[in-house]
Structure 1
Amino acid sequence: MNCAVKRVHFIFPQSVDFSFTHFLLRLLCRSYPRSATSTSFKMPKVKSKPSKKLIDLVNEYGSDILSTDNTVLFCKACGMTINHEKKYFVCQHLQTAKHKSATEKMKTESKQACLLNTFVADSSSKSQFPTELCMAFIDAGIPLWKLENKSLRSFLEKYTKQHIPSESSLRKHYIDNNFNNVMDRVRREVAYNKIWISIDETIDPVGRFVANVVI
């Protein structure tokens, strides 16, 4: 079996400085379609990461309205996810009457919550005065009915700028709280330490039995 061998001779002018590697590349490119040559390849566009796109949308329209878990875009006012494939869809949702109504409702509820927190804080600071007043009278051994004295009441109201509660109010609402606070403090201080206890039984001015405990 004879194998025919074809020889190809290339003749170039001596003045041409043509690298052999470059020559082979050009020769090979002729055997492929023009669309496959190196000059026809284009770098694909690099798409931005979904998480970055979502974060940018949240930053643009406000984190008080939108939020994301790096997977979906969520509207806080409407309580639903939004199509974020295109910015147009997000803008379209934000312009709907449903979203605007939900946003106004959310802002109103937020203001009411702030007012409620302020009211609770003010109420807490105001209730602190009668609590400490009750504790001070008990620690000093002053009967609470002394607060019914008009001269003492007017004096305290004048210089403390506070409403002085009645004896019955202190007994109903503050004595138990003060007792519980003292017991909690004793428990924290004693904890698991060894203690010594002395108990003495006596009677109060109205004849009731009282047990005095010393720790």
Structure 2
Amino acid sequence: MASQYEGILRTDKSVLFCIYCNCSITGGKTFNVKQHFETHKHKLCVERRSEKTESQLLLNKYNTFSKDFCKIFLSANIPLEKARHPSVIEFLGKHTNKTVPSVTNLRLKYVPALY
């Protein structure tokens, strides 16, 4: 049964376990599984999991932007303090729809990774 719903259910040969809800499904029959999938708790857990995935993707995109931003400034010998200049903030906001990362975050997270 767990092989039909790989990534949602797992089994230890005797008990079916819902990965999303972190609970066991009694009976182990198709009816019990479908009944569990229709519960309010399961639907909420699935929704939360998809929200986490979406937010993680956005966070990864932002981290890539921050790393590239830092790399450009360092490779061009532009002091990171210049990122605070209003014209830089305005330009990047207008053309990338992203906020300029703080200089402190750039120094702590990205400079060590680039060197």
Q: 1:129 to 1:173 in 2, by over 3 A?
A: same
Alignment of 1:91-110 (within 5 A): 103-110=39-46
The within-5 A match list for 1:82-161 is: 82=28, 103-161=39-97
Instruction: Report the counterpart of residue 80 of structure 1 in structure 2.
Output: 26
Name the one with the larger helix percent. Answer: 2
Point out the more displaced range, 130-139 or 166-175: 166-175
Residues 10-52 of structure 1: CA distance to partner in whole angstroms, max 9, x if unpaired? xxxxxxxxxxxxxxxxxxxxxxxxxxxxxxxxxxxxxxxxxxx
Q: TM-score, normalised by structure 1?
A: 0.39
* TM-score normalised by length of structure 2: 0.66
Distance 1:142 1:80, change over 3 A: same
Identify the structure with bigger relative contact order (alpha carbons < 8 Å, sequence gap 6+): 2
- Closer, same or farther: CA 100–152 of 1 in aligned 2, 3 Å: closer
When Rg is computed on C-alpha atoms for both structures, the one with the higher figure is 1
- RMSD after superposition: 3.6
Aligned residue pairs: how many? 105
Q: Where does structure 2 lack aligned partners over 5 or more consecutive residues?
A: none
Identity %: 20
